[in-house]
Amino acid sequence: MTADTNKFVIPIGPQHPALKEPANFEFWVDGEIVTGASVRLGYVHRGIEKGAEARTWTQNLYLMERICGICSHVHATAYTLGVEKLAGVEVPPRANAIRQLMAELERIHSHMLWLGVAAHEGGFDTLFMYSWRDRETVMDLLEKISGNKVHYSANLLGGVKFDITPELAAEVHKGLDFLEERNRFYLKVVTTDETFIGRTRDIGTMTTEKAEFLGAIGPTARASGVARDIRVDAPYLTYDQFPVKVMTHTSGDLHGRFIVRIHETFESIRVIREILDHIPQGDLTTRVPRRIPAGEAVSRVEAPRGELLYFIASNGSEKPERVKVRTPSLCNWSTVLSLAIGLKLADMPMLLSGIDPCFSCNDRSIRLKRGQQDPQVWSWEKLRQYGIEYYR
């Protein structure tokens, strides 16, 4: 983290037009070539894990959903899956199918959002405007189903809040037809536009071995040929009834990440259609006790950005004893920092957005053990001083 004083350092952030969320990057450049990179996170650290310990199991549902505004449904799903596992509750299959439906709609929304943002970082604002215009279609569908555009609040402990009526299903089908057609167009743009290919092909190439070594996950790893997807490896919800295919690409560069994400959108569209046609009948909710029996549970789901893991510990009371969240964005930072070296500075925004970073997810405190004198309680001033010293 200590910069070489002879190097020219370019700081980016925390407030920067290319970043929609606060984070601080430092790129050490030699002329135009990046020779080193560091990232400083933590601007969005709110203390959610600790806050969860002061809220009841049901209240936490709303807190967990607000860890991230883009993949809010998967956070709530991972949390409910863990709590239901602890409580030993069997959720009705219809509720699980609706959860999967929402998760896949959310994946479409997230990938289209990313396509726009990544194109914007590459200076291709036309694609940004087009993809965000079409993204409103999936936002409308989510709003029609749930009543809200971003935090759908679909999950309850033991079920879901709303049903998919035949009228809604018809609307979703109609919206999906439009989205599929538009995404075919985007695939064509991404694979044939010369300027765009110039910005993406052979930029930030990551081999399969390197992806494994750096611990990359999600579409970032799948673009490097790592066939890893929790939906397939460890099916949850109704992913065993309505399976999805793992989309991989062998190129490993930014271009491959675009292709993988657009293909995943197609796969989501296909599986949503399948769910709508074969949705199981039955109840939407089942009863979950107010006090969750003591124990520990781990739940894993596939967020749009990769594997999301929740560890939940209960001591038998109305509140959780510990909730630990491990989000995908944090795992992918090392790939950015290692791939940045040797690239041009102008490629940095594209490389950063290539992993689809979500700072609000990944800003959780990590405690590093250093030395013998390690007090457990730190004042804000002391912690702040520690942070300044650490990054000096």
CB 288 within 8 A of CB 89: yes
Residue ranges in 97-116 that form contacts with another protein under rule CB under 8 A: 113, 116
Stretches 36-44, 77-85, 277-285, 340-348: which one binds another protein (CB under 8 A)? Answer: 36-44
Stretches 129-137, 195-203, 210-218, 293-301: which one binds another protein (CB under 8 A)? Answer: 129-137
Other C-beta atoms within 10 Å of 381: how many? 8
Q: Does 45 bind another protein (CB under 8 A)?
A: yes
- Grouping H, G, I as helix, E, B as strand and the rest as coil, residue 167 is helix
Residues 6 or more apart in contact with residue 2 via CB below 8 angstroms: 392
Q: Which runs of consecutive H residues, i.e. helices, occur in 193-240?
A: 194-200, 208-214, 218-222, 230-233
Closest CA to 133 of 182, 176, 85: 182
Binding residue (CB under 8 A) for another protein from 29, 36, 93, 151: 151
DSSP string, 168-188: HHHHHHHHHHHHHHHHHHHHH
Integer Cα distance of 281 and 96 in angstroms: 11
Residue closer to another protein, measured from CB, 211 or 361 = 361
Q: Does 173 bind another protein (CB under 8 A)?
A: no
Q: Does 15 bind another protein (CB under 8 A)?
A: yes
Q: Does 66 bind another protein (CB under 8 A)?
A: yes
CB 244 within 8 A of CB 267: yes
Give the pair of three-digit tokens for residue 31. Answer: 């002329």
Residue closer to another protein, measured from CB, 111 or 263 = 111
CB of 349 to another protein, least distance (A): 12
Q: Does 382 bind another protein (CB under 8 A)?
A: no
Other C-beta atoms within 10 Å of 386: how many? 13
Q: Does 331 bind another protein (CB under 8 A)?
A: no
Q: Does 42 bind another protein (CB under 8 A)?
A: yes
Give the pair of three-digit tokens for residue 170. Answer: 């018809």
Residue closer to another protein, measured from CB, 12 or 271 = 12
Q: Which residues are at the interface with another protein (CB under 8 A)?
A: 14-17, 20-22, 42-48, 50-51, 54, 62-63, 66-70, 72, 113, 116, 128-129, 132-133, 136, 139, 148-151, 358, 360, 380, 384
